[in-house]
A and B are shown apart, each in its own frame.
Chain A
C-alpha cells in the first residue's frame, strides 16, 4: 500500500555544492578566450581532426581514450576537422567551436574539486579538512590553466581521484552491503580510464592494487570468515580490479580502431597486413592481388623491421664504387639497397632456378617454405646476389649486389632459400602481405637483412642491405606487398607491365586482436626523436617550481598565459609532505619502543592518509626521475593534487592529536586562516597570467617574476 503523505527527504551538502559551483565558475568562465591555439592544443588538435575525418594515426604518447574524449567534445561542438594545426597562437576561424573543444577537459578539471572534498571525507577526516583541500585545489593556478584548454592532464587527474575515492567508498562501506561492489567496479573502471588517458596512470593503478591486496590479505587472515566466503570475495575483487580494467582498456582500442578506418599519415609504421585493412592507401593498391606468391610473380618486398624507417628492397643502375673512402674494395657490382618510397625499381621477379621463363605458368606453381628461388630485378635484369665481400658500411656482413654474368671473375651466388617465419600461424606457402619471409643465401647461409645504416652519397643515402650469418636481431623478415602474376616474356613488355597498376580480386582481413596487439606494440616501441624543448624541465625543478611554461602570448599585446602554480600553496604542500614524513618516522620509532601516541583508530587513519597521499605523490613523481623522455612541469600536476589532499588532513591531525592546549589550537587556527588568505591573494596576483587577461604592463610582469628562472615574455614596443 502506498503510504501518504509521499515524502522525499533529501540531504544536500551545501558546502559541496558551493565548492562545485565555484570550481565550475573558475574553470569555465570565458572558456573561448583566447581564440587561438594554446600550447599543446596544437599537438592534440591534429589527432582530433584525424578522428573527425576517421583517418588512422598512431601516437606514442599514450593510449587513445584521452584523444577520444577530446574528439568527443569537438564532435559535440560541431567541429568538422577542417583546421590546420600548425603553430601555437594561430587564430581559430569562426567555424570552429572553441568552447566545444575545451569544454570536456574543463568540466573534468572542475569536478576534481568536489571529488577531493569527498575523498577527504572518505579518508575519515572532517568536513572542514575537506573544505580546506577543496579550496587549495580550487585556487591552484596551474590546475586552472591546465583545465581550461584542450589538454589531457585534468582528465587524467579526474580519473585518478575518482578511482581512489570509489575504492575508499568500497572499503568503508558496510561489509554486507551489495552496493559496495558497485563502487569497486567504478574504481576498476576509472583505473582503466586513467591508464587509457595516459600511461602514467599505470603507477596510480599499481598503488591502488597494492592497497587493495593489503586489504585482501587482511581479509584472508580473518579467521572468523569462512573459506568459501573468502574465496568468493577474493574472486570478486580480482574481477573488479584486474579483469574489468583490462577488458575496458582493450575496449578503448576497439573503439579507436573502429572509428579510424581510413588510411593516413602513419600507415607506414604498420605492417602490410594492418595497412591493407584500412580504407584507401595500401588496400587500394593491394585490393585484388593474387594471394599466393608463385614462380614468375612480380613482387615488391617490404622490410618488416620498421627501424629506422619502413622501406622496400630496391636496386638501380649504379654500381658499388670500386674503392670506398676508407680504402676497402667492393665487388663493383650493381647496388642493392632499401628505399623508403614507392618506385618502379622496387619490383622483383621470382624465378625458378631450373627454368628460364619469367611468367606464371597456368596453373601457377606457388612458392613454399624451404623452396630455393632466384630474385631477378625487374628493370635491370640483375639477380639478387651475395658473396664473401664486406658490405660497404657494415664490414662484418656480406655485401648484397645485383649480379649479371658479364664474364666477371666472380661466380654467381644468387640462390636464396625461402623461410616462411610465421608458417605456424599462417601457412607453409608464401602469401602476399600475410607471410613474413626470411631469405637465406644458399651458398653461405647468410640472411638478407637491413643493416639500419644509410649509404653515403654514392648510394643516394638509401639504406644499406646486407647478408649476415650471425643474425640475432629481428630485422630479417620481408613481406610481399604489391604482387601480380607476370605475363610478359619480353623485357620491354615486362617493363611496361611493371609500370602499370596492379589488379585482380581477393579479399582479406586481420582480426581485431591482431590489430590491437600490433598497434599496442608499435605505440610502446616507436620512439620519436627525443630532444630538449625550450620549456622542458627536469623533475627536481618541479618540486620547487623553478620553471614555468609560456602557453600563449597575444599576437600584439602583452597578454599572456603561463603554466605557473600558486607559489604559496605549492610551498605549503611541500612543507606538509616533509611534516608527514617526519611525523611518521617519529611515530614509527616510538611505537616500536612501545609508546602508543595515537589510539589505534587514529593510527589507522594516519597510515591510510600516508598510503593514499604520500603514496600517490611518490608513484606520480618518482618514475619521472628515471625517465629519459622530454618532461614538462605539467607532468607534476597529478602528484601535486595528492599533496593538496594531504595538507588539510595533516593540519586536522595536528589539531586533534598533537595540540592539547586550547591556546595552541587557537594559534593553529589563526595560522591556517592566514595561510588561506595568502593562498587566495597569490591566486589573485597570478590571475592575469592564468586567464590571459587583463593585459599587464612590462613593469607589472617584471613584478610577477618571483623567480629568476621563470621565463615571462615582454613584448618590445
Chain B
C-alpha cells in the first residue's frame, strides 16, 4: 500500500517536470513518507499545474465547437431519430410503448425536448421527414452536449492513468477530430448518452482508484458514489452498459484482493471496504436503476403500441386499454369469442392464420402459433363437443373438466392435435388448425382444466389459469417459446406436450371474452406488484433483443468490419441531390487505433519478457497496468458482439472505440518516449517532438479532408470527379 502511494506521488511529481523522466525509476524505492500527507500534496500540485488547465480548456473548447457546429442541419429526421425521437415524444404524451432498451436514454431525450419547448406532436414517421416548425434543436443539442464530454473525459482518464499530458492530448485529439464521433453525437440517438455514462463511470472509477491512499475520505466517497450512479445510468440507457459494469466489477474485485493481501489492515477494516463497495457499486446503482423504471411506469400510463407484449394484468394498468377497468362476462361460456394468452412471460396469444405448415413439417395442415401482437387472428370461438349450441336463452358456462372445441374465428378451423412431431420441439406433438366450418374429428377435442380447481368449477375470465388437455393423446397445449423459421412468420411455436407438469408454458388465461348474450361485469384484474412489472418488462426486453434477427436482404455488419472501418451507416440521403450525412470514422484515426491494437501486445510481450529475464524498463508500469485496463475495457466492449445472434450495426463499436483511442494515446506516447532507447538525449527528444507533430498534423489534415461526412455533403457522389469527396473513397465498401 505504502509503496503504491509513493509511486503515485512520484508520478504526479513527475508531471511538473516532464523532462526529468530519468529519475523516476530510481527514486521509487528511496522515498518513504506517510501516505496521507503525500496525497494532499499531490492534489494541491495537480490543481495548480497551469498546463493542465490550459490544455483542458483547449480540449473543452474544441470538443464543444466541433459537435455543436451545424447542429440543426439537416432539418429532417435522420436514421434512428425516427425511433428515439418518437419515443421521446411518447414520454411527453405519456403513451406506453415497448422498446428493447431500458428507458433512461429516451426519458432524458423526452426531458430535453420538453425543456426546450418541444410539445411531442411531431410524428417521426420515417427518416427524411421535415421537422418544419417543431423544436428539435433541443433534443439534438442535448445529445451533442453529452457527446462533447467524451473527449474531455477521455483526456482526464488518460491523464489520470498515465500522468502524461502528451498521451492525454493524443487521445483527446483522436476523439475530437474523428468524424464518426462527431456524427454520432449530433443526432437524437441513445449512443451519445450511453457513452457519456460509460466514460463518466470509467473516469470516476479511475479517480476512485487514485484515492486509495485516503480511504473513507470525502472525495473517496464522492468518486465511489459517482461511479455507482454512472453505472446505473449506463445500464439504464442500453444493456451494453453491462460491459462497463463488468469492467468496474472486475477492477473492484482486483482492488479488494489487493486490500486483502495488505496484512497491515485488520479484517474489520477490510470488511468496511467491502461493505462500502457493496453499497456504492451494487445497492446504489440497483436502487437508481429501479427508480428509473418506477418513473417510466408512472409517467407512461396511457395505452399505446406496446401493450400486446405484456401480460393481461400489466395491461389493465394502462388508461385506454380494453382491460383497464375491463367490463366483460365474468365466466367463460359456450359460444363466446375469446383470446387466449399464454402465461409464460411474453408468451403471446394463441394464433392461427391461413398458412399451412410446409412440407416435411408434420402434417400439412394450418399453422397454429403464439403471436405477441393484438390481431383479429387471435380470436377463437368456444364450442361444445357436439356442435349443437343452445340457440336461445343464456348460454351455458364452461366448467372444469368440460370437453370443448376451439374454433378459429377467421378461418373456421378447429384447434387440432395429433401424433406428429412438433416443428421444433421434437419431443412434443404438433398442433394444427383442421376441419372446415367447425366440423372436424375427435382430435379436435380439448378438456378444460382450471389449475387448482375441481370438477364443476367455473372458468374465470382473466383470473383463472387454464390448461387444455388433448382428449385423444393426453398431451397439454404448450407454448415452447421457440421462434419458428420464416415459414411461420417468426411467430412462436405452439405444441402439445406429453409432459404434464404444470408450468407457465402450459397454462393460459382467457383475456378478451365477448358474448353478447351475457351481461358485462366490471372486472378488477389483480394489479401486479411493481417488482413483477419490472421483471416482466425485462424479460420482454431480452426476448425482443434476441428476436432482432438479421433479415436476408439487409446488409448486415459483421464485428470484424468495425475496427477496420469497413463500412459506415447512411444517416441521411442517398442520391446526389440530397443532403447526405454518412456515419464513418475518420480513417486515419481508426487505422491508427488498429495499428496500436497490434503494437500494444508486441510492446507488452517485449517488456514482460525483459522484466522476467531481469532487465528493468521505465514506463513498464503504465504500459502494462493501465494499458491493460484499457485493453480489457476494449475487449469487454467488443468481443461479446461475436457471440450475439441479433442484428448488429456499425455504431455498436463506438464504446469499444473509446477504449481503443485511449489505449492508442498511451501506446503511442510510450513508443515515442522510448526513442531514447536508440538515440541519445537531444536527438531522442527531437524525434519525439517530430513524431507528435506528424501525428497531430495527419489527424488534422484527414479531418479537413473528411469533415463533409459529418457536416453534410451535397452534389455528386464520391466516385464522380466533381464531388467534394472525390478521390476520398479509399475503400470500395464506403457508400458516399
Chain B residue numbers with a CB within 8 Å of A604 are: none
Knowing A394-B553, A589-B260, A594-B263, say if A221 contacts B425 (CB, 8 Å): no
**Interface stretch of the complex, out of A11-19, A91-99, A526-534:** A526-534
How far apart are the CA atoms of A675 and B263 in the complex, in Å? 42
How far apart are the CA atoms of A421 and B424 in the complex, in Å? 40
How far apart are the CA atoms of A396 and B643 in the complex, in Å? 29
Does any Cβ of B come within 8 Å of A227's Cβ? Answer: yes
Q: Are B555 and A470 in contact (CB under 8 A)?
A: yes
Q: Are B609 and A220 in contact (CB under 8 A)?
A: yes
Q: Are A593 and B613 in contact (CB under 8 A)?
A: no
> Which parts of A208-228 form the interface with B (CB within 8 Å)?
217, 220-221, 223, 227
How far apart are the CA atoms of A472 and B612 in the complex, in Å? 47
Q: Are B612 and A217 in contact (CB under 8 A)?
A: yes
How far apart are the CA atoms of A247 and B416 in the complex, in Å? 58
Does any Cβ of B come within 8 Å of A716's Cβ? Answer: no
How far apart are the CA atoms of A237 and B606 in the complex, in Å? 19
Chain B residue, CB-CB nearest to A395: B553
Q: Are A396 and B553 in contact (CB under 8 A)?
A: yes
Contact digits for A549-593, partner B, Cβ 8 Å, 1 yes 0 no: 000000000000000000000000000000000000000010011
Does any Cβ of A come within 8 Å of B426's Cβ? Answer: yes
Chain B residue, CB-CB nearest to A461: B359
Chain A residue, CB-CB nearest to B614: A223
Chain A residue numbers with a CB within 8 Å of B452 are: none
Instruction: Report B39 CB to chain A, min CB distance, Å.
Output: 25
Does any Cβ of B come within 8 Å of A425's Cβ? Answer: no
Knowing A394-B553, A396-B553, say if A533 contacts B426 (CB, 8 Å): yes
Knowing A221-B612, A223-B613, say if A532 contacts B260 (CB, 8 Å): no
Q: Are A626 and B609 in contact (CB under 8 A)?
A: no
Does any Cβ of B come within 8 Å of A459's Cβ? Answer: no
Knowing A223-B614, A470-B555, say if A593 contacts B426 (CB, 8 Å): no
Q: Are B426 and A220 in contact (CB under 8 A)?
A: no
Q: Are A534 and B427 in contact (CB under 8 A)?
A: yes
How far apart are the CA atoms of A534 and B555 in the complex, in Å? 37
Does any Cβ of A come within 8 Å of B502's Cβ? Answer: no
Q: Are B613 and A227 in contact (CB under 8 A)?
A: yes
Instruction: Report A403 CB to chain B, min CB distance, Å.
Output: 25
Knowing A531-B426, A532-B425, A593-B263, say if A452 contacts B552 (CB, 8 Å): yes
Chain B residue numbers with a CB within 8 Å of A220 are: 609, 612-613
Q: Are A626 and B643 in contact (CB under 8 A)?
A: yes
Q: Select which of B267, B426, B643 is within 8 A of A532 by beta carbon.
A: B426
Chain A residue, CB-CB nearest to B735: A470
Instruction: Report A240 CB to chain B, min CB distance, Å.
Output: 20
Instruction: Report B687 CB to chain A, min CB distance, Å.
Output: 30
Chain A residue, CB-CB nearest to B257: A592
> Which parts of B220-267 form the interface with A (CB within 8 Å)?
257, 260-261, 263, 267
Chain B residue, CB-CB nearest to A217: B612
Q: Are B257 and A532 in contact (CB under 8 A)?
A: no
How far apart are the CA atoms of A675 and B16 in the complex, in Å? 70
Chain A residue numbers with a CB within 8 Å of B425 are: 532
Contact digits for B398-425, partner A, Cβ 8 Å, 1 yes 0 no: 0000000000000000000000000011
How far apart are the CA atoms of A609 and B442 in the complex, in Å? 62
Q: Select which of A221, A396, A532 is within 8 A of B424 by beta carbon.
A: A532
Q: Are A593 and B260 in contact (CB under 8 A)?
A: yes
Instruction: Report A640 CB to chain B, min CB distance, Å.
Output: 25
How far apart are the CA atoms of A452 and B486 in the complex, in Å? 13
How far apart are the CA atoms of A569 and B599 in the complex, in Å? 51
Instruction: Report A214 CB to chain B, min CB distance, Å.
Output: 12
Chain A residue numbers with a CB within 8 Å of B612 are: 217, 220-221
Chain A residue, CB-CB nearest to B425: A532
Number of interface residues of A (CB under 8 A): 22
Q: Which of A453, A531, A532, A594 is most buried by chain B, counting CB atoms within 10 A of its CB?
A: A532
Q: Select which of B261, B555, B609, B733 is within 8 A of A592 by beta carbon.
A: B261
Contact digits for A451-471, partner B, Cβ 8 Å, 1 yes 0 no: 011000000000000000010
> Which parts of B425-463 form the interface with A (CB within 8 Å)?
425-427
Instruction: Report A244 CB to chain B, min CB distance, Å.
Output: 23
Chain A residue, CB-CB nearest to B609: A220
Chain B residue numbers with a CB within 8 Å of A453 are: 552
Chain A residue, CB-CB nearest to B611: A221
Q: Are A534 and B426 in contact (CB under 8 A)?
A: yes
Chain A residue numbers with a CB within 8 Å of B613 are: 220-221, 223, 227, 230
How far apart are the CA atoms of A668 and B587 in the complex, in Å? 68
How far apart are the CA atoms of A626 and B263 in the complex, in Å? 41
Chain A residue numbers with a CB within 8 Å of B267 are: 593
Q: Are B426 and A592 in contact (CB under 8 A)?
A: no
Chain A residue numbers with a CB within 8 Å of B643 are: 626
Instruction: Report A469 CB to chain B, min CB distance, Å.
Output: 11
Chain A residue, CB-CB nearest to B554: A396
Chain A residue, CB-CB nearest to B267: A593
Instruction: Report A384 CB to chain B, min CB distance, Å.
Output: 23
Contact digits for A589-607, partner B, Cβ 8 Å, 1 yes 0 no: 1001110000000000000
Chain A residue numbers with a CB within 8 Å of B261 are: 592-593
Instruction: Report A597 CB to chain B, min CB distance, Å.
Output: 16
> Which parts of A469-506 form the interface with B (CB within 8 Å)?
470, 472
How far apart are the CA atoms of A693 and B553 in the complex, in Å? 58
Chain A residue, CB-CB nearest to B486: A453
Chain A residue, CB-CB nearest to B482: A532
Instruction: Report A1 CB to chain B, min CB distance, Å.
Output: 49
How far apart are the CA atoms of A396 and B551 in the complex, in Å? 12
Chain A residue, CB-CB nearest to B557: A472
Instruction: Report A594 CB to chain B, min CB distance, Å.
Output: 5
Knowing A221-B612, A223-B614, A589-B260, say if A532 contacts B427 (CB, 8 Å): yes
Chain B residue numbers with a CB within 8 Å of A534 are: 426-427
Instruction: Report A336 CB to chain B, min CB distance, Å.
Output: 19
Contact digits for B629-651, partner A, Cβ 8 Å, 1 yes 0 no: 00000000000000100000000
Chain B residue, CB-CB nearest to A394: B553
How far apart are the CA atoms of A220 and B427 in the complex, in Å? 56
Chain A residue, CB-CB nearest to B566: A472
> Which parts of B701-736 form the interface with A (CB within 8 Å)?
733
How far apart are the CA atoms of A534 and B421 in the complex, in Å? 10
Contact digits for B53-93, partner A, Cβ 8 Å, 1 yes 0 no: 00000000000000000000000000000000000000000
Chain B residue numbers with a CB within 8 Å of A394 are: 552-553
Instruction: Report B512 CB to chain A, min CB distance, Å.
Output: 30
> Which parts of B251-292 form the interface with A (CB within 8 Å)?
257, 260-261, 263, 267
Chain A residue, CB-CB nearest to B270: A593
Chain B residue numbers with a CB within 8 Å of A217 are: 612
Contact digits for A614-647, partner B, Cβ 8 Å, 1 yes 0 no: 0000000000001000000000000000000000
Chain A residue numbers with a CB within 8 Å of B263 are: 593-594
Q: Which of A227, A452, A453, A593 is most buried by chain B, counting CB atoms within 10 A of its CB?
A: A593
How far apart are the CA atoms of A531 and B427 in the complex, in Å? 11
Contact digits for B302-319, partner A, Cβ 8 Å, 1 yes 0 no: 000000000000000000
How far apart are the CA atoms of A641 and B577 in the complex, in Å? 69
> Which parts of A392-409 form the interface with B (CB within 8 Å)?
394, 396-397
Chain B residue numbers with a CB within 8 Å of A472 are: 555, 733
> Which parts of A81-108 form the interface with B (CB within 8 Å)?
none
How far apart are the CA atoms of A531 and B362 in the complex, in Å? 14
Chain A residue, CB-CB nearest to B555: A472
Closest 9 pairs (CB-CB, A-B): A532-B426, A221-B612, A592-B260, A396-B553, A592-B261, A220-B612, A223-B614, A594-B263, A472-B555
Residues of chain A touching chain B, judged by Cβ–Cβ distance below 8 Å, are 217, 220-221, 223, 227, 230, 394, 396-397, 452-453, 470, 472, 531-534, 589, 592-594, 626
A-B contact pairs, 10 of them (CB 8 A): A217-B612, A221-B613, A223-B613, A394-B553, A396-B553, A397-B553, A452-B552, A589-B260, A592-B260, A593-B267
Beyond A532-B426, A533-B426, 19 extra complex contacts between A and B, CB < 8 Å: A217-B612, A220-B612, A220-B613, A223-B614, A394-B552, A394-B553, A397-B553, A452-B552, A472-B733, A532-B424, A532-B425, A532-B427, A534-B426, A592-B261, A593-B260, A593-B261, A593-B263, A593-B267, A626-B643
